[in-house]
Copies of this chain bind each other. A is one copy, B any other.
Amino acid sequence: MPDVYSSLILPDVRLMVQDEDRHGLTEFCRVLHPVVIANILEELEPREVWVILDHADLRLRVEIFEYVSLRRQMELVEKLDKRRLSELLEEMSSDDRVDLLSRMPQDRVEDLLPLIAQAERNDIRRLLSYDEHSAGSIMTTEYASLPADITAEEALKRLRQQAPDSETIYYIYILNRNRRLEGLVSLRELILAKPEASLSDIMQRDVIRMRVDEDREDVAQELARYNFIAMPIVDNEERLVGIVTHDDAIDVVQEEATEDAHRQGAVEPLQDDYEDTPLLTILWKRGIWLVVLSFVALMTAEVAHRYAKATSRDGSRAHEVAGFSQSDPSSDESEVGVADDATDLTSSLIFLFIPLVMASGGNAGSQSATLFIRMFALQPADGAVPGTGFSVDRELVLRELVLAAVMGAVLALLDFVYVLIRFDLARATAVGVTVFLIVILGTTAGTMLPILFRRLDMDPAIMSTPLIAAIVDVLGVVIFYEVAMIIF
């Protein structure tokens, strides 16, 4: 596996950078696959990265740079001077550079654009204008195109000239004078054709195409269905404006699957990989759903409350049983002591708040499990990617616990205030403390169980959302009773 390889040679690379070993670094850039080099660059300081990339010519430098993760690319360009950055951007493929520019601060982009050649600049502005989830946002404008009225031999000659600026030359699009898409010739068909054959005779007509404003997910799926290397993208006048290549389509499929997995686990989709997303962002994307779900759970408590009251028409005793003896706001606004009959209360408390307590723990745990399971799914089975070993697991688990403490505190406060207003201080305290503890416990279970399963070489995905929730439910009851027994 190349990844094991890259972590093995990382120390050597560091040494070469320290010693400014020109020969060594040039060889390093020349011999290894750009993906492998990019992998290694993820682990180095930006300063070290630029020392290394200076030993590659511009074309290779850009190729390596394009394989670096977007988050890392942003770190790398942060302190790069404008001249070198514009040089890099000019050479980058049109889709990759727009991805980078769309993440950079607006004023920096406006600063940079004048340094970039007119044609490239127009291309950038056009691509930047497309909606984030449209075909336009993932297409490249660097396609190979030819007119219909030339021979196969002539076509091959012209193709050789276009090759350096084309993302793929395996599909050649046949355009008329107005750049309308008329046909398609694959390079395979082209080299199998007689040299004197006219493109208009060998080209496929009625080419499958998609529009620039269609959903990028649909484009990826259609490309997959037709087994295409690239999908041509046209505007409203059927003019070819770009192509979406197979490698971008597979990225879209993976990103959309990740988004869906996160949504399914009640996490607002993250823009970056989980392990690259800042703590505050994750807190927000999870917290918002935990709060929404807590409100639904509070509604459940309200409904149960109303039913309990309705079924206790016969008087105080059954009412007392349901736990409203002295604090039902509709009959008595006071928060007087309720601790005089501790065991009764302990039991009756549960009846209203157990679903709320369980939901908080189960939901927080499901979120953790979802994030970890999807992260594992995107990593090779042997975990050999640099930065995914045991030490990183530990770091991520610690981060989860910090998150859990914050989210637990917020939910506990929310529930505390609700129970305090509707019932009394003792119950509010019991619920608040339990929710805080169960969120931490749920998160721990949601984090550790997938990790455990992966280490045992089993599929971590067995730890489904409902299973995590069910396991945390058991723990929830235990904690709630223990807390309630202490408080009353």
Which B residues are CB-close (under 8 A) to A469? 359, 362, 466, 469
Given known contacts A304-B477, A466-B362, A380 and B461 CB-to-CB distance under 8 angstroms: no
A266 touches B464 (CB 8 A): yes
**A226-262 Cβ-contact flags toward B at 8 Å (1 or 0):** 1111000000000000000011011101101101110
B296 touches A467 (CB 8 A): yes
Given known contacts A221-B378, A355-B355, A378-B221, A261 and B263 CB-to-CB distance under 8 angstroms: no
In the bound assembly, the distance between CA atoms of A344 and B351 in angstroms comes to 13
Which B residues are CB-close (under 8 A) to A370? 264
Task: Among B228, B249, B257, B362, point to the contact of A257 (Cβ < 8 A).
Answer: B257
**A13-37 Cβ-contact flags toward B at 8 Å (1 or 0):** 0000000000000000001110100
Which B residues are CB-close (under 8 A) to A160? 191-192
- Tell me, yes or no, whether A373 is within 8 Å of chain B by CB: yes
Task: Among B187, B215, B300, B363, point to the contact of A170 (Cβ < 8 A).
Answer: B187
Which B residues are CB-close (under 8 A) to A206? 31-33
- Tell me, yes or no, whether A150 is within 8 Å of chain B by CB: no
**A290-305 Cβ-contact flags toward B at 8 Å (1 or 0):** 0011001101100110
Given known contacts A348-B321, A351-B350, A307 and B260 CB-to-CB distance under 8 angstroms: no
* Closest B residue to A464 using CB positions: B266
In the bound assembly, the distance between CA atoms of A313 and B485 in angstroms comes to 12
**How close is A355's CB to chain B, nearest CB, in angstroms?**
6
A297 touches B473 (CB 8 A): yes
Given contacts A296-B467, A348-B351, 7 further A-B contacts (CB under 8 A): A33-B208, A159-B191, A170-B188, A296-B470, A300-B470, A300-B476, A307-B481
17 examples of A-B residue contacts, CB within 8 angstroms: A160-B192, A170-B170, A170-B229, A215-B381, A217-B381, A253-B257, A256-B377, A264-B370, A266-B467, A296-B471, A303-B474, A308-B347, A313-B343, A317-B344, A318-B344, A354-B354, A466-B469
Task: Please provide the 9 A-B residue pairs with the shortest distance between their CB atoms, ordered closest to farther.
Answer: A257-B257, A227-B247, A296-B470, A318-B343, A351-B351, A307-B481, A263-B461, A266-B464, A465-B465
Name A's B-contacting residues (CB within 8 A).
2, 31-33, 35, 156, 159-160, 163, 169-170, 187-188, 191-192, 206, 208, 215, 217-218, 220-229, 246-247, 249-251, 253-254, 256-257, 259-261, 263-266, 289, 292-293, 296-297, 299-300, 303-304, 307-308, 310-314, 317-318, 321-322, 341-344, 346-348, 350-351, 354-355, 358-359, 362-363, 366, 370, 373-374, 377-378, 380-381, 459, 461-462, 464-467, 469-471, 473-474, 476-478, 481, 485
